[in-house]
């Protein structure tokens, strides 16, 4: 491994969303650069103008931003470097590493077929011809030299190709536009990229690209080709496995730090450690830990890791991330009182929420509006003989507790005392009170429910419940 300060890059083609596999590739590049004090660059590979869209570019940028993968330096749009790509193709033409190929579409098809039948890579009859200097349309092709090409991939190990197996690829099309293969090596060189970490579907391109890089006399980057992500069933990841875009995971209530942690661990191992803070991730990441076999998505594990990160987040940061989900449950903006309730309930909400959607469900009891609609099974405890009288009696006791003394401990003491004074089991009062305060929605310990709701809301909900008997 070379000692150079790394410059890594993520080079997505903007034809869709930020794919979950792309997000992991970006993360590995990001972590590797940070680990070694280098730079992480972002390049939008939009040379295929027909397939690239601004919407897709924006989706990728948004996904990167949400995931916290900030890039260094300017964002590079590959299409803007077209002149430079042409210049390099001309240089290769000049130094004999490329040639003009005048084959028409039909001739090309025939020549290809001939090569295929002979079991050989494609070679144009124009590669050695000095003849054609006419003005016919032509493409510029790379002239693959004889010999072998080897790379020492950081993940895949040593790989060797016979050059005769590589086609003479087009560098510049007849309309003068550069191809992907040319654009990539030029941009990587111009951006000073030292380490290429990408999906192993590009492994063979590393061989092709290395020959071109050497033809230009440029430094060859280090390569690490990462196995792709598979679905839980071990098959190539596809739509039927569920969400593919990073934005879909955000919508499912994953927090960015949780998804980062999960993706980092997906196909990368580091002893038994599962949970990494960002600082720990940067400290630990290396290319040696990348596993050679395809990683499988495991949604249970993803949820577990996410839950751990929800617990680790500070309240303000978590509230910010959860706000869209809470607003949805609330059916509109929260307002001050409900925000205060959520804030005071954070400690009990965190361990009960693996995703922000779950957090919305767990917080629902805090977001109800008075008078609560308590129906069906949820209303049963309130219909029991004497239940509303007991609630009324308890409400009086609770009223005596000042707002400043309204704490889980003080409330628990009142509840215990009430149970003892009335010589009843806890459930006798606990169940109707819970029904009156939560309308059957998910909720934590009763004293926590009362604490999070606050004195005024608690007394209000209890009074509502004791004031009218729910219909049977
Ligand atoms: N633009 C290519 C892709 O999206 C990646 C090229 C590369 O990483 O070299 O698959």
For residue 220, what is the domain's CATH number?
A: 3.40.50.620
Q: What is the pLDDT of residues 78-119, one digit of tens each?
A: 999 999 999 999 999 999 999 999 999 999 999 999 999 999
198 close to ligand 1 (CB < 6 Angstrom): yes
Question: Are 177 and 250 members of one domain?
Answer: no
- Per the prediction, the chain carries an average pLDDT of 95
Q: Domain boundary at 275, 301, 327, which?
A: 301
Question: Are 444 and 386 members of one domain?
Answer: yes
pLDDT at 158 over 80: yes
Tell me if 2 is assigned to some domain.
Answer: no
Question: Are 49 and 171 members of one domain?
Answer: no
188 close to ligand 1 (CB < 6 Angstrom): no
> What spacing in Å lies between the alpha carbon of 215 and ligand 1's midpoint?
21
Structure tokens at 324: 């869209």
Q: Domain boundary at 246, 270, 301, which?
A: 301
Tell me if 420 is assigned to some domain.
Answer: yes
Tell me if 113 is assigned to some domain.
Answer: yes
Question: Are 107 and 220 members of one domain?
Answer: yes
Among 13, 26, 63, 228, the mutation site with the greatest number of ligand 1 atoms within 8 A of its Cβ is 13
* 3-class DSSP string for 276-332: CCHHHHHHHCCCCCECCCCEECCHHHHHHHHHHHHHHCCHHHHHHHHHHHHHHHHCC
What range does the domain containing 28 cover?
Answer: 7-74+229-301
Quote the CA–CA distance of 247 and 66 in Å, as a whole number.
Answer: 8
Question: Are 92 and 168 members of one domain?
Answer: yes
Q: Can you give the pTM of this predicted structure? A: 0.93
Question: Are 359 and 395 members of one domain?
Answer: no
Among 10, 12, 185, 228, the mutation site with the greatest number of ligand 1 atoms within 8 A of its Cβ is 12
225 close to ligand 1 (CB < 6 Angstrom): no
11 close to ligand 1 (CB < 6 Angstrom): yes
Of all atoms in ligand 1, which is nearest to the CA of residue 45? Answer: 1
Q: What is the pLDDT of residues 11-54, one digit of tens each?
A: 999 989 999 999 999 999 999 999 999 999 999 999 888 888 99
Question: Are 462 and 432 members of one domain?
Answer: yes
21 close to ligand 1 (CB < 6 Angstrom): no
> What spacing in Å lies between the alpha carbon of 199 and ligand 1's midpoint?
8
> What spacing in Å lies between the alpha carbon of 413 and ligand 1's midpoint?
63
Among 10, 11, 225, the mutation site with the greatest number of ligand 1 atoms within 8 A of its Cβ is 11
Distances in whole angstroms, Cα of residue 295 to Cα of each of 255, 291, 298: 21, 8, 9
13 close to ligand 1 (CB < 6 Angstrom): yes
Q: What is the pLDDT of residues 49-82, one digit of tens each?
A: 888 899 999 999 999 999 999 999 999 999 999 9
Tell me if 409 is assigned to some domain.
Answer: yes
210 is catalytic: no
Tell me if 306 is assigned to some domain.
Answer: no
Tell me if 307 is assigned to some domain.
Answer: no
> What spacing in Å lies between the alpha carbon of 57 and ligand 1's midpoint?
14
Question: Are 276 and 399 members of one domain?
Answer: no
Question: Are 136 and 210 members of one domain?
Answer: yes
Q: How many domains does the chain have?
A: 4
Of all atoms in ligand 1, which is nearest to the CA of residue 209? Answer: 9
Q: Domain boundary at 274, 301, 328, which?
A: 301
The secondary element (H helix, E strand) that includes residue 206 is: helix 203-215
Question: Are 246 and 212 members of one domain?
Answer: no
Options 130, 160, 239, 377, the catalytic residue:
239
Q: What is the pLDDT of residues 239-287, one digit of tens each?
A: 888 889 999 999 999 999 999 999 999 999 999 999 999 999 999 999 9
pLDDT at 132 over 60: no
Tell me if 1 is assigned to some domain.
Answer: no
Structure tokens at 165: 């197996």
202 close to ligand 1 (CB < 6 Angstrom): yes
> What spacing in Å lies between the alpha carbon of 33 and ligand 1's midpoint?
18
457 close to ligand 1 (CB < 6 Angstrom): no
Of all atoms in ligand 1, which is nearest to the CA of residue 12? Answer: 4
Residue 2 has what pLDDT?
53
Angle at 143 (CA atoms; ends 139, 148), nearest 5 degrees? 150
Tell me if 387 is assigned to some domain.
Answer: yes
Question: Are 85 and 197 members of one domain?
Answer: yes
| CATH code for the domain of 386 | 1.10.10.350
User: What stretches of 353-454 show up as alpha helix (H) in DSSP?
Assistant: 356-363, 380-383, 387-399, 408-422, 426-438, 446-453
The answer to whether 112 and 141 have CB atoms below 8 angstroms apart is no
Question: Are 177 and 120 members of one domain?
Answer: yes
């Amino acid at each position: 491994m070379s000692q150079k300060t790394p410059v890594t890059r993520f080079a997505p083609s903007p034809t869709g969303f930020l794919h979950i596999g792309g997000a992991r590739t970006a993360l590995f590049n990001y972590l590797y650069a940070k680990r070694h004090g280098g730079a992480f660059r972002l390049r939008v590979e939009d040379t295929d103008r027909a397939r690239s869209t601004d919407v897709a570019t924006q989706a990728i940028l948004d996904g990167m931003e949400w995931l916290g993968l900030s890039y260094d330096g300017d964002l590079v749009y590959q299409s803007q470097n077209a002149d430079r790509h042409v210049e390099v193709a001309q240089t290769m033409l000049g130094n004999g590493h490329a040639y003009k190929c005048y084959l028409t579409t039909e001739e090309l098809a025939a020549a290809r077929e001939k090569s295929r039948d002979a079991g050989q890579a494609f070679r144009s009859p124009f590669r050695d011809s000095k003849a054609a200097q006419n003005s016919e349309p032509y493409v510029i092709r790379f002239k693959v030299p004889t010999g072998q090409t080897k790379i020492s991939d950081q993940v895949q190990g040593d790989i060797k190709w016979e050059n005769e197996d590589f086609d003479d690829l087009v560098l510049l099309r007849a309309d003068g536009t550069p191809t992907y293969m040319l654009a990539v090596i030029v941009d990587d060189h111009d951006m000073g990229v030292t380490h290429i970490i990408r999906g192993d579907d590009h492994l063979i391109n590393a061989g092709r690209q290395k020959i071109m890089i050497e033809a230009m006399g440029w430094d060859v980057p280090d390569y690490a080709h990462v196995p792709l992500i598979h679905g839980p069933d071990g098959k190539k990841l596809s739509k039927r496995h569920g969400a593919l875009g990073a934005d879909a995971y955000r919508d499912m209530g994953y927090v960015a730090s949780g998804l980062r942690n999960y993706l980092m661990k997906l196909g990368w191992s580091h002893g038994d450690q599962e949970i990494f803070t960002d600082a720990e991730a940067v400290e630990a990441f290396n290319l040696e830990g990348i596993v050679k076999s395809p990683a499988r998505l495991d949604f249970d594990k993803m949820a577990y890791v996410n839950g751990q990160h929800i617990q680790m987040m500070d309240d303000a940061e978590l509230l910010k991330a959860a706000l869209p989900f809470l607003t949805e449950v609330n059916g509109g903006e929260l307002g001050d009182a409900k925000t205060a309730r959520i804030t005071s309930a954070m400690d009990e909400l965190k361990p009960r929420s693996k995703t922000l959607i779950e957090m919305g469900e767990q917080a629902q009891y805090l977001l109800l509006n008075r008078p609560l609609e308590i129906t069906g099974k949820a209303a049963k405890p309130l219909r029991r003989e004497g239940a509303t009288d007991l609630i009324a009696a308890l409400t009086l006791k609770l009223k005596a507790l000042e707002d400043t003394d309204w704490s889980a401990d003080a409330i628990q003491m009142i509840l215990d005392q009430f149970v003892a004074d009335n010589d009843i089991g806890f459930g006798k009062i606990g169940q109707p009170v819970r029904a009156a305060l939560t309308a059957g929605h998910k909720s934590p310990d009763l004293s926590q429910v009362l604490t999070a709701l606050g004195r005024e809301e608690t007394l209000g909900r209890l009074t509502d419940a004791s004031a009218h008997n729910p219909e049977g």
